Amino acid sequence: MAKERLSKLQKWILLRIHYSESEYIKRRDIYKEYWKLNIPDQKEIPASKYKPVEKKLRVSLSRSIIRLEERDYVRSEGRTWDIRGYDDDITLNEKGKIKVRELEKNLRDLGIDILRFLKNGMS
């Protein structure tokens, strides 16, 4: 079986959920923490009014989460409603927890500080 490769965003999502106090992360948190952007939700403006970069980031994030779900690393649950619209709670599955331990080891072997990796996001 070929080795499953994860994008930097997918690695960041897995590690961020693992180091979260609540054991889940919301999509809007990923926009804010990974890309350092405050992207409006569909409740605030219609999707047709999104800037091109916002559309690209939404697609990129959705595809990354879908791929992680297909590999059974995460699950999206609890589509919660707040003033900004719907938002998923993204949590780790058991297979995702195993992958996180592997990622932690690989990052340490490369001399990368995990908390700095999480803090820096895309910057």
Per-residue model confidence as pLDDT tens digits over 62-97: 899 999 999 999 998 876 555 444 567 899 999 999
φ/ψ of 112, rounded to 5, equals: -95, 125
We find that the CATH architecture of domain 8-120 is Orthogonal Bundle (1.10)
Torsion angles phi and psi, residue 110, rounded to 5: -85, -5
pTM: 0.86
Query: Among 20-24, 37-41, 76-80, 92-96, which range has the highest average pLDDT?
Result: 92-96
How many beta carbons lie within 10 A of that of residue 9, not counting itself? 20
